[in-house]
Structure 1
Amino acid sequence: MTKTTTHVSPGRANTFPWPPVLFVAAIAAALAMSRLLPLPWPGLDDAPAHGIGLGFGVVGLVLIVLGFKALIDHRTTVLPDKVATTLVTSGPYRRFRNPIYLGEVLLLFAGAEITKSIWFVAAGLGFGVLITVLQIIPEERHLEAQFGDAYLDYKVRTRRWI
């Protein structure tokens, strides 16, 4: 289900593309901290734990790809600093309001398993907080202004994260 706007845009969510910048910064910070202040890996180093960690990465990649695909299929922007022209509520957006950002957090958690660095867990949590404050909350205000009751109804029935 989608709703295309036909009125003048109330503006965009942000003028700066926070998501890719924060994601790259989270990876860089985790790698730097892993090197400068290595901490012991608290997890198990066995096949089930490794499978779960890699599973986070696979699910994260799937959410990101399907999230972008849904946006492209509905001909709305994939750029976080541009005006949304369509409210996408299908694909992974049926279950999550922010599947791409959730996928990025899961990739950071998978990075923890791959590198055996707890700093990737910290980076994932930090990314989640910063993306919520700097992108998701302004994005939600933008979508509410852009799509009104359609977005409010979607927001009630769909979780922000999980």
Structure 2
Amino acid sequence: MTQTKDVPGVIAPPPLIYLGFLLLGWGLGQVLPDPGLGLETLWRRGVAVVLIVAGLVIDGAAAGHFRRLGTRVEPWHPSTVLATDGLYRFSRNPIYLGFALAYVGFAVAMDSLFALALLIPCILVVDRLVIAREERYLAARFGAAYADYRQRVRRWL
């Protein structure tokens, strides 16, 4: 894939990918009998709130770190700085981890086994069609600094 612009060329905005899979799971539950998750309502709500809040806190912290560094969060804008500290010391993709946690929280809140199961293909799509493209872009943009960072820090956790 030839890079024609100073952006990674991801397939779609990552939040929309997660939302699309979540809505697909909900839709399947509307046309097929969804067995649910088997959690009592109070537990389900509590787990859902904790996961959604945790995901949003991670996303907010990671996005805030980008802003403090003076680079854009959105992958359709050029990256001007390589984030390697803060949450980025532990994962090269904390925002996508936050999205995944929030996704699980919403699937639990919906009591949808279908939505929860679709997280697996969702993560595969994000991994192959978003992260892989972002990594090629960052390698071309930041060279040895990104190669060193990639060796030190895992993609997910």
TM-score, reference length from structure 1: 0.84
Q: Is the 8 A contact 2:10 2:129 kept in 1?
A: no
Which of 77, 94, 99 is 2:94 aligned to? 99
1:74 to 2:69 alignment: yes
Instruction: Name the CA distance, whole Å, in 1 between partners of 2:21 and 2:122.
Output: 6
The residue type equivalent to 1:90 in the other structure is D
Which of 8, 13, 18 is 1:18 aligned to? 13
Which of 122, 131, 138 is 1:127 aligned to? 122
Q: Pairwise CA RMSD of aligned residues? A: 2.2
1:86 to 2:120 alignment: no
Instruction: Name the CA distance, whole Å, in 1 between partners of 2:95 and 2:52.
Output: 13
Q: Is the 8 A contact 1:18 1:134 kept in 2?
A: no
Which of 130, 149, 158 is 2:153 aligned to? 158
Question: Which stretches in structure 1 are left out of the alignment for 5+ residues?
Answer: 1-8
Q: Is the 8 A contact 2:11 2:130 kept in 1?
A: no
Shift of 1:30: 1.8
TM-score, reference length from structure 2: 0.86
Shift of 1:16: 4.9
Which of 9, 24, 30 is 1:29 aligned to? 24
Shift of 1:155: 1.0
| Percent identity over paired residues | 32
Q: Deviations over 1:66-115 (max 9, x none)?
A: 11101111111111122211001122112111111111111111112111
| Number of corresponding residues | 154
Question: Which stretches in structure 2 are left out of the alignment for 5+ residues?
Answer: none
